[in-house]
Amino acid sequence: MIEAPPDIKLRKRLFWIVFALGLGISISGFILEKIATYSLLDYRGIKFGSYGFNLAQIPPRKDLGDKKVVVLFGNSVYQYGSIPSLMKNIIEEKGDPIVLMNMAQVSATAYDYLVQAGKIVDDRPDLVVFNLYYWTYFTTPKFATNCDQMVFDGDVIKVFPGSFYRRYFTFKTAFPAFISSVVPLKRLDPIIRWELKLRDWMPEWFLTWVSYPHLNIDQERGELQYVQRSLLNVQQEKIVFSEILALQRELLNVLDQHHIPVLFIWQETSYDTQAEMFDVINQIIAEHKNAMWVDLRHYFVKDDFEDQTHPKRGKGVHDYAIRHYTAITQALEHFEKQRSPAQ
């Protein structure tokens, strides 16, 4: 028997060592991701700002009894404002059999919403709520969270339309997202660095030099202002109308396929939404039996708001919560009546 030359043996050995290391890194990422998951019953919302949406878990139905499960998607008004907490107080006061799962993330766009919806359809909530305003439909940047690193996750890819992948990705842009799904440590890295407080002892010039990610966590000094400045810088960006309409249809189709009712709330804001975009999006929503929308934009009163979007503490924020909770309960009643004749 002829033995392989030493260099071939070495190459084979190196191959298996590298393969084992790569497999170990990939598996360890999945293990760490599993360990890092948490129940939304134990937290007011997403823990890590613009990162880690996939770590937040909706509890199993058996843990919620006969309560209606409502998932909230939105922006900083829901994630860091007191609106969801006030709505939960209303639920407790009234004794309504409803539980809110706050999955909002700062500055989330329509692209983020599509991925977020894909991640939770298997949980079959009784209602999904999306907050809409002008910035929701910015196409630059497309993703304001790290949901772009989850588009090749198994639970997303099985429900996503192929049209999204063909329209959005090239091989070059798809590769980093694919690696994040195969090697979860890639998307866990910023969260691990935050949890270990590595930012605390790093000088600002170094953080800038290495492009240290901003998680948009409310404990980070000036982080919300950072987000708003970033958005203001792209405020003049042209919205790609055809792209937005395609996204809206894809979002509705993903939810339709799983028979999940959805409520779109045009939230109170002083930012003007293009009339043409507003009308066409609402028309698309109206074409779907399991979807409805409500327009609360006209409730914006400058004296009741901190800025153009966030309500002030006190009466302003309380009235805001009542309006949104009323819209949610009306939507639940509407879809319940809609299902009744078939039962």
Tell me what the mean pLDDT of segment 52-80 comes to: 93
* DSSP H or E stretch at residue 102: strand 98-102
Give residue 230's pLDDT band: very low, low, confident or very high (50, 70, 90). very low
In sequence order, the β-bridge partners of residue 262 are 128, 291
**Is the link from the previous residue into 141 a cis peptide, with omega within 30 of 0?**
yes
Tell me what the mean pLDDT of segment 50-56 comes to: 92
pLDDT at residue 228 greater than cutoff 50: no
Q: Please state, for a pLDDT cut of 90, what percent of the chain lies above it.
A: 46
* Residue 213 in tokens: 């990610």
What pLDDT does 81 receive? 85
Check: CB of residue 267 under 8 Å from CB of residue 77. Answer: yes
**Location of structure tokens 């907050």:** 131
Mean pLDDT is highest, among 216-225, 277-286, 322-331, for 322-331
Name the pairing type of β-strands 38-39 and 262-266.
Answer: unpaired
What pLDDT does 207 receive? 61
What pLDDT does 3 receive? 58
**Location of structure tokens 């940047």:** 141
Closest C-alpha to 109, from 72, 140, 77: 140
Mind listing the pLDDT tens digit for each residue in 2-32? 555 667 777 777 777 777 877 787 788 788 8
What pLDDT does 253 receive? 96
What pLDDT does 129 receive? 98
Tell me what the mean pLDDT of segment 41-54 comes to: 89
Which ranges in the chain belong to alpha helices (H)? 6-36, 76-79, 83-94, 110-120, 154-157, 162-168, 171-182, 185-195, 204-209, 223-233, 241-257, 275-286, 315-339
Mind listing the pLDDT tens digit for each residue in 110-136? 999 999 999 999 999 999 999 998 889
Check: CB of residue 276 under 8 Å from CB of residue 304. Answer: no
What pLDDT does 225 receive? 41
Distance of CA 280 to the CA centre of its chain: 23
Residue predicted with more confidence, 175 or 206: 175
What pLDDT does 266 receive? 95
Closest C-alpha to 292, from 129, 144, 182: 129
pLDDT at residue 227 greater than cutoff 70: no
Tell me what the mean pLDDT of segment 220-229 comes to: 41
- How many residues appear in the chain? 343
Over the chain, what is the mean pLDDT?
84
Mean pLDDT is highest, among 163-177, 186-200, 247-261, for 247-261
In sequence order, the β-bridge partners of residue 305 are 311
**Location of structure tokens 């639970």:** 155
Give residue 231's pLDDT band: very low, low, confident or very high (50, 70, 90). very low
What pLDDT does 197 receive? 72
* Residues 88, 86: Cα–Cα separation, whole Å: 5
Residue predicted with more confidence, 225 or 342: 342
pLDDT at residue 1 greater than cutoff 60: no
Amino acid at 265: I
* Residues 30, 23: Cα–Cα separation, whole Å: 11
Query: Quick count: other Cβ atoms within 10 Å of Cβ 30?
Result: 14
Closest C-alpha to 81, from 273, 318, 295: 318
Angle (CA) 248 158 101, round 5°: 65
- Hey, is 250 helix, strand or coil? helix
Tell me what the mean pLDDT of segment 298-306 comes to: 89
* Residues 233, 120: Cα–Cα separation, whole Å: 32
Our separate counts of H helices and E strands in the chain read 13, 7
CA dist list (Å): 274 to 135, 263, 279, 293: 11, 20, 9, 17
* Residues 69, 40: Cα–Cα separation, whole Å: 12
* Residue 62 in tokens: 């058996």
Q: Which domains does the chain have, with CATH numbers?
A: 38-169+194-337 (3.40.50.1110)
Residues 6+ apart with CB under 8 A from 326: none
What pLDDT does 213 receive? 63
- Hey, is 130 helix, strand or coil? strand
114-118, 173-177, 222-226, 274-278: the lowest-pLDDT one = 222-226
* Residues 61, 125: Cα–Cα separation, whole Å: 9
Residue predicted with more confidence, 308 or 156: 156
* Residue 22 in tokens: 């790569």
pLDDT at residue 281 greater than cutoff 80: yes
Mind listing the pLDDT tens digit for each residue in 234-271? 444 455 778 888 999 999 999 999 999 999 999 998 87
Q: In what order do the strands lie in the sheet with 127-132?
A: 98-102, 68-73, 127-132, 262-266, 291-295
